[in-house]
Amino acid sequence: MTGLVLFVVALFCLFLGYSVAFTFAGVSLIVGVAVLGVDLFAFMPYRIMSIMKNTILMAVPMFIFMGIVLQKTGLAERLLESSAKLFGGISGGVAISTIIVGTLLAASTGVVGASVVAMGVISLPVMLKNNYHQPTAAGVICASGTLGQIIPPSIILIILGDVMGVPVGDLFQAAVIPGMLLVIFYTLYILVLGQIKPDLMPPIEVTESKRELMVQALKDIVPPLVLILVVLGSIFSGVATPTESSAIGAVGAIMLSMFYGTFSLSKLHEISKETVKVTSMVFAVLIGATAFAMVFSYSGSEYIIEDFFLDMSGGKWTFIIIAMLAILLLGFFIDFIEIAFLVVPILLPVAIALDINLVWFAILISMNLQTSFLTPPFGFSLFYLKGVAPKWMKTTTIYKGVIPFVIMQIIVLLLILSFPEHLIM
């Protein structure tokens, strides 16, 4: 019962609003000492040192830094404004540009919160000013901002690679087609909706000539796109590891801000502080989760979980369905980082015992977490947008807007389940 008590008490404390890192560490310490004795934690310094020496996890602060640079220096705003004018002459043009910029931000940052907030601040006022259907505008921003969960260099993929012992480069390659499928589905939905009901997403007035728009778009879109291709291309080609590529991305983001004339030492100081805050949160959670996993494992609970799933009829498909439902439900209440460090280590031995492809399983988990970010009533992306939306915009408006995108997420998830050999590179 030790593992069950540990898990239930930790979830209860999280629901009460206690700090994630200290909840994991505190509950593990209390339960571990009470049941297994204080000597168990003699191994903890070695585990912490192992985390600090992990070169894979060095990519996390680098990609976070890269994303915050693009946000704080106004590069994301330039991308959105330029692409909005480029597509503004058609119904749903601003929405399509939001999806494009969301894709580029996802491929630049991997940080969902930053992408949703950035586009909520920049894109939402433009759409509302041009009489866009409010639920559709909100849904587009939430959905495109959440692409950072699956499109490389996704932070969750880096963490899952470390937790599951899978090469991060393999996960990045496997995530490309599912991520692009989502982008295609979103874009086609907006195009069709714009044709059927153009009054929901009217075209915006563009005063510049087509030539001027193209020149401006090339100037604002091509340099960030080159940076993305260099970062991901170096990983996929084997020229650099994800950690080395993350350093290239961080330096490249600084060079881009210099190129556009938005760099300053004061902004660099602000960006660095923000990076340290986010990174500290991630690693504090990781250390707390390590203590949790140690108590859970040494109590023998993981063997009970493994025997439970292996004895069930239906084999791996029963396990996958239950695991996906559990992750989806937990994703309503706790962040993806906690799920990666808390739930995935419990499921991993079962997946290995059932001979499940771990790359495929990791992509399913990432897609599932992305869906939970969007699903009412507790999706994190919904609250990110609500925090920057006008006060008069109702939460139910945002809920209504994301429903079509949640359906598209589920369709792509089912496609990955059905055709793994075709959709996982």
- 338 versus 372: the higher-pLDDT residue is 372
pLDDT tens-digit series, residues 342-352? 788 888 888 89
What's residue 364's pLDDT?
A: 92
Query: In Å, how far are 157, 172, 243, 337 from 359, measured between CA atoms?
Result: 10, 10, 19, 18
pLDDT at 127 over 80: yes
For residue 224, the one-letter residue type is P
pLDDT at 143 over 80: yes
Q: Count of CB atoms within 10 A of residue 212's CB?
A: 12
pLDDT tens-digit series, residues 290-337? 787 778 777 777 677 767 777 777 778 888 888 888 888 777 766 677
At 245, the pLDDT band (50, 70, 90 cuts) reads: confident
Q: Count of CB atoms within 10 A of residue 55's CB?
A: 10
Residues 6+ apart with CB under 8 A from 89: 203, 204, 206
The per-residue pLDDT of the chain, averaged, comes to 82
CA–CA gap between residue 48 and residue 175 (Å, rounded): 30
What's residue 423's pLDDT?
A: 67
pTM of the model: 0.79
CA–CA gap between residue 189 and residue 140 (Å, rounded): 10
CA–CA gap between residue 217 and residue 342 (Å, rounded): 43
- 216 versus 170: the higher-pLDDT residue is 170
CA–CA gap between residue 217 and residue 107 (Å, rounded): 18
CA–CA gap between residue 404 and residue 300 (Å, rounded): 43
Quick one: average pLDDT of 81-103? Answer: 80
Query: In Å, how far are 154, 224, 300, 345 from 103, measured between CA atoms?
Result: 12, 12, 43, 30
Quick one: average pLDDT of 36-55? Answer: 79
- Helix axes of 75-87 and 112-129: crossing angle, nearest 10 degrees: 40
Give φ, ψ of 263 to 5 degrees.
-80, 140
User: Token pair of 61, please?
Assistant: 């602060």
At 354, the pLDDT band (50, 70, 90 cuts) reads: confident
Task: Pick the range with the lowest mean pLDDT from 81-85, 142-146, 181-185, 347-351.
Answer: 81-85
For residue 336, the one-letter residue type is F
At 184, the pLDDT band (50, 70, 90 cuts) reads: very high
At 411, the pLDDT band (50, 70, 90 cuts) reads: very high
pLDDT at 263 over 90: no
Residue of 275, 271, 211 lying closest to 59 (CA atoms): 275
At 109, the pLDDT band (50, 70, 90 cuts) reads: low
pLDDT at 110 over 70: no
pLDDT at 259 over 80: yes
pLDDT at 123 over 90: no
CA–CA gap between residue 32 and residue 291 (Å, rounded): 9
Query: In Å, how far are 26, 123, 224, 257 from 206, measured between CA atoms?
Result: 57, 16, 24, 27
Contact 56, 153 (CB under 8 A): no
For residue 234, the one-letter residue type is S
Residues 6+ apart with CB under 8 A from 49: none
Q: How many Cα atoms within 13 Å fall on the side-chain side of residue 301?
A: 22
What's residue 113's pLDDT?
A: 67
At 78, the pLDDT band (50, 70, 90 cuts) reads: confident
CA–CA gap between residue 300 and residue 297 (Å, rounded): 5
pLDDT at 425 over 60: no
Contact 84, 129 (CB under 8 A): no
Would you say how long the chain is, in residues?
Answer: 425
CA–CA gap between residue 36 and residue 300 (Å, rounded): 11
For residue 209, the one-letter residue type is S
What's residue 183's pLDDT?
A: 93
